[in-house]
Amino acid sequence: MSRYSLLQTLDRGIETLLLVARSPGDLRVSDVARQLDLTRAVAYRIVATLCHHKMIRRREDGRLTLGGAAFQLGAAATDTVRKAARAVLEQLAEETEATAFLSVAEGSECVVAMTAEPRNAVVAIHYRVGVRHPLNRGAAGLAILAGRPPSSDEPEEVSVARRSGFALTRGQLHRGAVGVSSPLILPPGLDQLNYSIGVVALEALDTDMACCAVCKAAQRLSAILS
């Protein structure tokens, strides 16, 4: 087999894996063949190879979903983002005198993945790792949605956040709390993960300063990961 054929096969395998990741449980081999413009025989061989390496699996009804090995890669990618985020979050917390946090999308929810509190602030909001809320509520979730391609039915808040580069909310999740978040732009290989970085504080937060600091922090972390 030629070098070009090997690269083409790898490319098709990666496309198949990403396609299944975007539509877990919704695709059959025939759908893969149609969407990637492959013959059904080629699609079956690619799927069989990915199943062999436990990157995807076929359910009893023939539909495809991610396998255990793919989730291991996802966990490693998440660890990479978190390790890089620690110093950025700590600096952001000190700059804004507000609690800084990293959030990640899990299905239709936004989950707090990491936090950093300012050392010298008189009052700071304690934001617990693992807290969940809908993606369409709160600055963190809106920022994640703004980092995705536009959709015709998205809330106006998401469109505004995409244009400005940040989402700003007041009291959506906690009374008296102000949140500012910006999406992370991740490189290929990590771009299936949807993250945002932001701060949360009480009404006294200087929002102009915080919006600027959060956007710069998101750009800095995105650059580190790239």
Q: Nearest-CA neighbor of 114 among 104, 105, 101, 125? A: 101
pLDDT, average across residues 101-114: 88
Residue 20 φ/ψ, nearest 5 degrees: -65, -35
Percent of the chain with pLDDT over 70: 87
What pLDDT score does 146 carry? 94
Task: Give the model confidence (pLDDT) of 149-181 as tens digits.
Answer: 888 888 899 999 999 999 999 988 888 889 999
What pLDDT score does 1 carry? 45
Q: How confident is the model at residue 119 (pLDDT cuts 50, 70, 90)?
A: confident
**Contact yes or no for 101/112 (Cβ under 8 A):** yes
Q: How confident is the model at residue 5 (pLDDT cuts 50, 70, 90)?
A: low
Q: Which residue shows structure tokens 């990666």? A: 14
pLDDT greater than 50 at residue 38: yes
- Give the CB-side neighbour count of residue 29, counting CA atoms within 13 A: 18
C-alpha gyration radius of the chain: 20
Q: Which residue shows structure tokens 């098709």? A: 12
What pLDDT score does 6 carry? 56
CATH 1.10.10.10 residue window(s) in the chain:
3-69
**Contact yes or no for 127/112 (Cβ under 8 A):** yes
Question: Whole-number mean pLDDT of the chain?
Answer: 85
First to last CA, the chain: 33
CATH 3.30.450.40 residue window(s) in the chain:
78-225
If you classify domain 78-225 with CATH, what class do you get? alpha beta
For residue 118, the one-letter residue type is P
CATH of domain 3-69: 1.10.10.10
Neighbour count for residue 88 (Cβ, 10 Å): 21
Task: Give the model confidence (pLDDT) of 86-96 as tens digits.
Answer: 999 999 999 99
**Contact yes or no for 176/202 (Cβ under 8 A):** yes
Q: How many residues does the chain have?
A: 226
pTM of the predicted structure, to 2 decimals = 0.66
Rounded to whole angstroms, how far apart are CA atoms 164 and 166?
Answer: 6
pLDDT greater than 50 at residue 3: no
Task: Give the model confidence (pLDDT) of 44-84 as tens digits.
Answer: 999 999 999 888 888 888 888 877 676 566 655 667 777 88
Taking the mean position of all CA atoms in its chain, how far away is CA 225? 13
**Contact yes or no for 161/143 (Cβ under 8 A):** yes
